[in-house]
Amino acid sequence: MHNLKISPDIQRKLSFKHSVTRLEVEQCFVNRSGRLLMDTREKHKTDPPTLWFLALTNQSRILKIVYIQIGSTIYLKSAFSPNETEIEIYSRHG
């Protein structure tokens, strides 16, 4: 995905804190089947809005993908294994 931008700081966080690779993030974008959800929590509000979804990698690892989009460019904010609350929210609304 040439339109996916991951800053060096986010890449380090993905690698060291969450053990997530760029390839896994790209797979989740391709494999997404639900709707995009907007993070409306006051502390996480951004302009443009922060969007998120849950999807499986090609190895069936479920990840929460968090990003903002400006035009066709996607700026990744985070990607990690979701907790039970996030899975429940996405199963109801995504």
pLDDT tens track, the chain, 94 positions = 899 999 999 999 999 999 999 999 999 999 999 999 998 887 777 889 999 999 999 999 999 999 999 999 999 999 999 999 999 999 999 9
Taking the alpha carbons of 44, 62, 5, 33 in that order, is the dihedral positive or negative?
negative
Which of the 8 DSSP states describes residue 59? Answer: T
In this structure, are strands 4-5 and 73-80 parallel, antiparallel, or unpaired? parallel
SS3 16: helix
Model pTM?
A: 0.94
- For tokens 């929590």, what's the residue? 41
> What is the Cα–Cα distance from 35 to 65, expressed in whole angstroms?
12
